[in-house]
Amino acid sequence: MLNIDLTGRRALVAGVADDGGFGFAIAKALAEAGATICVGTWPPALNIFRNLLERGKMDESRKMADGSTLNFEKIYPLDAAFDTLADAPEEVRSNKRYKELGDFSIDGMVKQLTADFGSSSLDIVVHSLANGPEVKKPLIDTSRAGYLAAISVSAYSLVSMVSRLAPLMRKDGSFISLSYMAGERVIPGYGGGMSTAKAALESDTRTLAYEAGRRHGLRVNTISAGPFASRAASAIGIIDTMVDYCAGNSPLPQPLTATEVGTAAAFLASPLASGITGTTLYVDKGYHSMGMAVDRGTPGTM
């Protein structure tokens, strides 16, 4: 039997703050395959996340197939808008949700990982990070600040993480990010520069795959996932409409589950995908292949 075996490997999943999104599903799938899991969590959500864990609110979702429980080796504060602590403005550093956390930048997380586990201690990095403060605005109405904020957190942060984390990665390590079809096609309502950020993320995936492959022997891929009604996605404002529309117009006419994205990521992170890099993998029930809506009885539908 051909199995996904990640025993002895350590994963960092950046962008986990609850049990309802793709980041958590990927972390759980990697753990099911044998990996140990560290996570990076946005500081404003960190206390809530820790409280959910401590009070047992996530006990059911953390149960794995063998009866064990998904545990996190470390939970790091991470605001991916900042490469270094010095990049964060004083009003952020002095904010009550930040000031007691130490270095919450990408560089700070890397330093803490190194202190906790040493060099050559990481095998898998998952970038499950996105933020568009003006995502509800049409692109034509998006401010420069909102546009650049979307690009910064949703795309450039991958570049920063690959640059800083690659030296910690062991041989045949893997980076995985999460994209969305809005980077290729118009999705009305998905605004604020987020469509641009996803296009940049996919372009950067190809370039980083070349550069990190040649320099460090690492793989870099992205998953273009279909819409999913996570808590974070509720910020879009039309997520339920997006889910229903895609389910009604996909070759496999049902909503996407987070588990399906999680298991796809586990495959990409595994030795079974050793020949795959620089790739955008669609996990969307086949919606990306469609060129005409079928939910209104288009001829030829079953």
SS3 239: helix
Options 98, 147, 156, 190, the catalytic residue: 190
Reported as half-sphere exposure (CB side, CA atoms, 13 A), residue 240 has a value of: 1
Which bin fits 217, alpha (ψ -120 to 50), beta or left (φ > 0)? left
Q: What does the H/E/C string look like for 166-212?
A: HHHEEEEEEEEEEECHHHCCCCCCCCCCHHHHHHHHHHHHHHHHHHH
Whether the CB-CB separation of 7 and 32 falls below 8 Å is answered with: no
Cβ neighbours of residue 8 closer than 8 Å, sequence gap 6 or more? 34
Dist. CA 297–CA 230, nearest whole Å: 29
Dist. CA 194–CA 233, nearest whole Å: 12
Catalytic, 180? Answer: yes
Q: What does the H/E/C string look like for 53-110?
A: HHCCCCCCCCECCCCCECCEEEEEECCCCCCCHHHCCHHHHCCCCCCCCCCCCHHHHH
Amino acid in position 107: D
Q: Which of 98, 281, 302, 96 is nearest to 272 (CA)?
A: 281
Question: Nearest-5° angle of CA 291, CA 297, CA 302?
Answer: 90
The two most distant CA atoms of the chain are separated, in Å, by 61
Options 147, 180, 210, 287, the catalytic residue: 180
Enzyme catalytic residues: 180, 190
